[in-house]
Amino acid sequence: MSGFDLVAPYYDHVVRIVFGQKINNFNRKILASIAPVKRCMIIGGGSGKILLDAIEMNLASSYCYAELSSKMKKKAKDRLNDRQLQQVTFTADYSETDSRFDLIVLPFVLDCYSESSVHQFLYNLEPILTNHGKLLIIDFNHEPLNDQRPTFIQKQFIRLLYLFFRITSNIEAKKLPRILSILKDSNFTLISRDRLYNGWIVSSVYGSAKNDDVA
């Protein structure tokens, strides 16, 4: 996924043109709803807006920022001042750390992978969560959610996005995986959920199977 180096210079501008501040505001709302933790890992946070938001909200005492794209990682570092940089460890691959985390955040990450890879990705995260660790996933969704479902136009837009990112960034996925269904069948237990654009974008907080307090 280091192919995101190609889109790094204009990625934030495109998101702003298409979505305005809605996604950023949505992300901040979700982060604000989570109790502060000791250690937080953010995987695939791109240019680092969500990292800066988390730091400004005092979401964690320390952070690990795992981002394969070196250019995205540089943009993330450039957002932070010297004091904030001291709180963050930067890495290319989340599996390179020996630490365990109280919170792992995946902002628009799982949609880059095939469904089989999403299963494996979630399996790989389990050992690096603490016993009461939580998983926050923010991503596009095309599955019905209660009485809401993405519109025809939204589904067509997703198809265009996949075409674009397969050409420019060589992502693995050819279509949006059924992330919610996969998580339902995983060892993670849903704690809370919020949605944007009638369920087209969904944020979900899951508890680790090791957390006996999760119902």
Mind listing the pLDDT tens digit for each residue in 172-191? 888 899 999 999 999 899 99
> Whole-number mean pLDDT of the chain?
89
In a domain, 136, yes or no: yes
In a domain, 129, yes or no: yes
Sign of CA dihedral 22, 28, 33, 39: positive
DSSP-assigned beta bridge partners for residue 39:
62
- Mean pLDDT value of segment 113-128: 94
In a domain, 215, yes or no: no
Q: Which residues contact 11 (CB under 8 A, 6 or more apart)?
A: 4, 46, 47, 72
DSSP-assigned beta bridge partners for residue 145:
148
Mind listing the pLDDT tens digit for each residue in 87-118? 999 999 898 888 899 999 999 999 999 999 99
Structure-block tokens of residue 107: 């902002």
CATH, residue 33 = 3.40.50.150
Q: Is residue 126's pLDDT more than 60?
A: yes
Q: What is the DSSP letter of 48?
A: S
Structural domain span for residue 32: 2-207
How many domains is the chain partitioned into structurally? 1
Alpha helices in 126-205 (DSSP H): 152-168, 179-184
DSSP-assigned beta bridge partners for residue 41:
64, 104
- Beta strands 101-107 and 60-66: pairing type? unpaired
In a domain, 213, yes or no: no
The model carries a pTM of: 0.91
- Beta strands 189-196 and 201-207: pairing type? antiparallel
In a domain, 214, yes or no: no
pLDDT band at 209 (very low <50, low <70, confident <90, very high): low
Q: Which residues contact 179 (CB under 8 A, 6 or more apart)?
A: 110, 111, 118, 137, 139, 141
Mind listing the pLDDT tens digit for each residue in 41-90? 999 999 999 999 999 999 999 999 999 999 999 999 999 999 999 999 99
Q: Decide if 76 contacts 15 (C-beta within 8 A).
A: no
In a domain, 212, yes or no: no
How many other CB atoms are there within 10 angstroms of residue 146's CB atom?
A: 8
In a domain, 196, yes or no: yes
Q: Which residue has the tokens 């890879």?
A: 117
